[in-house]
Every structure is written in C-alpha cells, then in structure tokens.
Structure 1
Amino acid sequence: MHIAVYLPLLLSLLAPLGARPLSERCEPRLATWLLTASSLILGTAGVVSLGLLAVTGLIRIPPIAGLGHWSAPAAQHDDPVRLSIALLAGLLLSGAVVMAARLLWRRTHSLAAAALDAACMPARDGLVVIDDEAPDAFALPGLPGRVVVSTGMLHTLDETEHDILLAHERAHLAAHHYAFVALAQLGAAANPLLRPLATAVTYTVERWADESAAAATGDRKRVARAVGKAALASRRRPALTRTAGAVLGILGRRGRGNPLASAGPVPRRVAALLAPPLPRHPVLAAATAAVLAAATLATADAAHDLHQLLKTVGVS
C-alpha cells in the first residue's frame, strides 16, 4: 500500500479551505449539494482508508493472520506500512465509527421525535401557530411536515412579510434540507476535519430557502428586510425551544453582534439578498468534483493494493 491510501486523509485537510468560497460564491442549491457530497464522500473515504491501514496491522498478528490463512511474517516483510501507523489508524477508526454511530442514533431519534410532534400538531395548510411572544419560526420535518410560527414572530413581521416567512419555511420542507444537514454532519462526525463543511451546509440551506422565498415573492429586498427584522427581534427576546437537530428556521444560526466584515451568518444572508443572485460557478463545481473523484479513485486503488498484499502473504 502506497500514497493512495493517505490521499483521502490529505484531501480532508485541504477540503475545509473550499467551504467558504463555495458557500459565498456559488448558487446556494448547488453549493449545498457540493458541500454535502464532499462531507459525506470524504468522510467515508477517510474511514475506509483508516480501515485499510488498520487491516495491515491486524494481519501481522499470528492468531488473526491464521484466520485468513495469511502469513504474519510475510506480512511484516512485504507491507510498507509501519506497524505504529497501522495501530494509530485502528484507534482513529474506532473513534470515527463510534462518533458516526452516536450521531446517526441522535439524528434518527430527533427526526423521529420531530415527525411524531408534527403528526400531533393540528394544522391548516401545514401551518401551526403557537401562542408565544418569543419570535420564532421553523420547519418541522414529518409526514407531512409542519411550519411552526409563534405569535411573537407574526407580530414582528408585517402582513406583507408573512408570505416571505411561509415561503422560506416551506422551502426547507420541500427540499428536505434537514437531510442535507444530517448527511453533512454524519461525514463530519466520522472525520472532525470536515466540520467546516457541515457548518457551511447549515448556512447554504438557509440561503437556499432565502432564494426560494425571493423567487416566490419577486422582491429580494423585502426578503432581506424580513430576515433582518426576524434576527433583530430574536436577539432582543430568546426564541422558543425547538426539537434539537430536527428543525430549520428563518433565523438560522445567528452571529453575536458581528459587523459584516466578521461574516456573521445573518448579515451575510442579508447582504447576499441585496446583491444579484449568485451564478452556478462551474469552476468551483468542477474543482469540487475533481477532489471527490480523486478521493474515490485513491480509495479504490488502496483497496486494490490491500487485496494484492493479502494474495501475496496468503499461505498456499
């Protein structure tokens, strides 16, 4: 096994550098797809690479080598991977599997709870209004999903902005944004180096919903004003408690008193809405596709190398 097995891990170090350019310069729907695919594919490729490295250490242990009819001395002689690297890979692999399984369990549980809550909520056209003066609005996944809005949020926005609010939240449900967030977080749980990609997805799904609302209402400035008003109102008064990890709202993740230069999520969303719509940016899309293709091919090549090694150390 040679450099190919390490390439997915190296790309995981470099990939977060592209998270901000993709989220800021690329059309939000395409950016969400690219960031989610990057987190999931690089996370999977990294786990596979760690597994391949760990196997090279296991086959040097005589009892385990005997189970596969391999020669442990031959493995020690023919395998270029150092035993210390194989052992470290095994430890990292164990941690990655545990963290990914833990997040998968939590996300599954929270989505099931959200679906149950949604089924129990009486709604008109999928809209649930909660009597709470704390301003908040969010999409609750389910079969069907619900748009939950507090009376405080309805009072914060004027009647012409209520349509914007509903268009934003319904876009979250229609495009299954919670699935993109969950998959990106799963990849980041398996490989913590990819957390900037998962964070970027939580921003781009909000931008995607913003653009859907702008397209539905035909007024980007009104959407920007509604997002800004909602964020300012929520800072003055805490929003109502949501089901953890299972909802997406117009407020998104708010920065703490940032000027636009420090790039808080809400100011960035408002600025993007006040500017012309972003292009698809084929150069960034092609670069991302090339990185993912390289990681996939490198993983396949490393798996082939391990297969050849196992054939070489096999006992005839």
Structure 2
Amino acid sequence: MRVFVYATLLFPATAMPLARLATARLHPRHAAWLLSASAVVLAGTSCGALGLLVIAELVRIPELARLAHLSRRAIVSNDSTSSAVAATAGILLGAALLAALTFAVARIRALAAAFGHARALPGRRSLVITEDEVADAYTVPGRPGRIVVSTAMLEALDEPGRRALLAHEMAHVRGRHYIFAAAARLAAAANPLVRPLAGAVDYAMERWADEYAADELGDRRQVATAIATAAIATKRTRPHRRSAPVLGAVFGRPDESRADGAGPVPRRVAALLSPAPCTSPFALGVALSVIALAGFCALEATDDLRELIALARMERHR
C-alpha cells in the first residue's frame, strides 16, 4: 500500500503546472471543466489516501483488530506504515475535513443569500438595471439567475460595449459558473495544494464568458475594448458588493494574478486581441493523464489495504 498511497499524496503538487497548462493551451470552456474536475479529484484522492493511512494504523490496535476479527500480527508483518506517519495523516485528514465542512457551510449560506437576493431584485427579467453612480456589473445565481448592471456602467460604455458586457454576463448565468467556482474552492479548502487550480478556474470562467461574448458580437476587438473600458470605470468608482457569491464582468480575485505581476484584466484583453483559442489535444491528454493516474494510484492503494485486511482476516480464522 505504501507506494501507491504516497504517490497519491504527491499528485496535488502538480496543481500549479496543470493550471498553467490548461489556461494556456485549452479553450477556456474546456479549461474550466477540466480544472474544476482536477481540483476535486486531486483533493479527494489525497484526502482518501490520508484516510487509508489512518485505517491501516487503526487496525493495528489490538482491541479494534479483535473486534474486526483480524490478525494483528499479519497486519504488522505485511504493512510497514509507522505510527508517526499515521498520526500525521490523521491530523491532516481531520484538518482537511474541518476546513471543507466549514467552507461548505459558509458557501451554502452565501448561495442561499444570493438566491434570496436574486428573488428580491425588482422585475422578473434576467437583466436588472440599478440607479447607481458606481460603475458595476455582476451576476447573482438564482432561479432565474440575475444580471445586475448599474447606470454608471452603462453610461461608461457605447452600444457595442453594452452588448459585449451583457453577453459576457449572460454566459455566467447560462453556464452556472458559480458551481465551478464552488467545487474548486471546496477542493482547495480540503487541500491547500490545489489552490492554484481554484484560482485558474476563476480566470478560465471569465475567459469563457469573454469568448462567448466575442462569438455573440463577432468582434473580438470590441469585446476587448469593452472589458478595458469597464475596468477603468469600475476601478475609478470602486464598487462594494454586499451579496455573495457573485461573478463580476471585470475584476477577478486577487489570486488570479500571475507571479510576473500581470493581472487578469490585461491578460483577458491580450487574449481577445489574439486569435480565438483552441484546445491542444496534447495538453488535454496530459491533463487527463494526471487525473487518471491520481485516480489509479488511489484505487490501487485502496485495493492494497483491502488485500491486507483480507489476509489478516484469513490468518485470524486459521
């Protein structure tokens, strides 16, 4: 069990290169799906591996081994996991479960508040225009999801820019992007090593919405201009949003910025001024291979523990 369980624990270290590969070589829609799935798989398998180490130690306890009808001698002789390693795994697993539960509760409450806010917004149409001197635009998840745009933002944009903005926000609503963000953030709460994937998911969703708007307008440069103009207007008036979670048309979270200092807005504008993105089969294959290998190692580690327990049970009944 040792080789596969430790290999499973190492896979979350691939989060950073995987995030960079997906955002650079995959279409944003594919990147959002793949990165959120990768975050869940890598966090889930690593937490599962910690659980296997804990179980391997628990069955060594004479009282538990006797209750489970297992031969403790067979377990000790066939598994070399140390008590210190198992104790560390137990602490890490407990911390991961507590962090994930805390995040899940907070996110459920935030989503409930957002759904309530969406219902409370005036009118029944998806678009809600607010009389506000603060330039802002965002989506609120709900049934239906709502697009909130301030009059100041509309005044800052020309007619094509307004259409680009609304198309971008509609992509968030139709794609239910808040689900991708929630899944990736939950995984990052359970295992901090996958946080680069969560940040990359946020950026990929904004790029996904940008590309949707570019397809709707048929003019990539116009969408890039709208994003830049909206960013300037938003920065000047600095909106303060009270409902969460929301998805913004302009600004992402701070951790979307790269180490070289390039923020998400300049990157998005630069991407729109370049040819339309496409998915590299090679990059997609590499990313899927990482997920598949992590799952394979987790399954093999689980099977090794199953065989160990089966052997211990057989020895006990001899």
Do they superpose with TM above 0.5? yes
User: 2:311 is aligned with what amino acid?
Assistant: T
Match of 2:68 in 1: 68
Match of 2:132 in 1: 132
Match of 1:274 in 2: 273
Q: For 2:251, what is the secondary structure of its paired residue?
A: coil
Match of 1:237 in 2: 237
Match of 2:187 in 1: 187
Q: Deviations over 1:91-119 (max 9, x none)?
A: 11111111111111111111111111111
Q: How many residues align structurally?
A: 314
Equivalence map 1:19-34=2 (5 Å): 19-34=19-34
Match of 1:300 in 2: 299
Q: Is the 8 A contact 1:206 1:252 kept in 2?
A: no
Distance 1:188 1:255 in 2: 15
Match of 1:211 in 2: 211
1:234 offset after TM fit, Å? 1.6
Q: Deviations over 1:24-44 (max 9, x none)?
A: 232100111111111011111
1:7 offset after TM fit, Å? 1.6
Match of 1:18 in 2: 18
Q: Deviations over 1:241-286 (max 9, x none)?
A: 1423x21011131669x99963211100000000001111111110
Moved more, 174-183 or 54-63: 54-63
Equivalence map 1:49-198=2 (5 Å): 49-123=49-123, 125-198=125-198
Q: For 2:43, what is the secondary structure of its paired residue?
A: helix
1:124 offset after TM fit, Å? 5.4
Distance 1:255 1:189 in 2: 17
Distance 1:284 1:122 in 2: 45
User: 2:132 is aligned with what amino acid?
Assistant: D
Match of 2:264 in 1: 265
1:219 offset after TM fit, Å? 0.9
Q: For 1:174, what is the secondary structure of its paired residue?
A: helix
User: 1:143 is aligned with what amino acid?
Assistant: R
Distance 2:26 2:262 in 1: 16
User: 2:196 is aligned with what amino acid?
Assistant: P
Summarize the Cα distance change of 1:65–1:28 in structure 2 as closer, same or farther, 3 Å threshold: same
Q: Is the 8 A contact 1:172 1:248 kept in 2?
A: yes
Moved more, 274-283 or 157-166: 157-166
Moved more, 88-97 or 157-166: 157-166
Q: Is the 8 A contact 1:254 1:264 kept in 2?
A: no
TM-score (norm 1): 0.95
User: 1:291 is aligned with what amino acid?
Assistant: V
**In percent, how many aligned pairs have the same letter?**
44
Q: For 2:129, what is the secondary structure of its paired residue?
A: strand
Distance 1:259 1:313 in 2: 51
Summarize the Cα distance change of 1:50–1:307 in structure 2 as closer, same or farther, 3 Å threshold: same
Summarize the Cα distance change of 1:303–1:107 in structure 2 as closer, same or farther, 3 Å threshold: same
1:16 offset after TM fit, Å? 1.7
1:21 offset after TM fit, Å? 2.4
Distance 1:284 1:106 in 2: 35
Q: Which runs of 5+ in 2 are unaligned?
A: none
Q: For 2:148, what is the secondary structure of its paired residue?
A: strand
Q: Which runs of 5+ in 1 are unaligned?
A: none
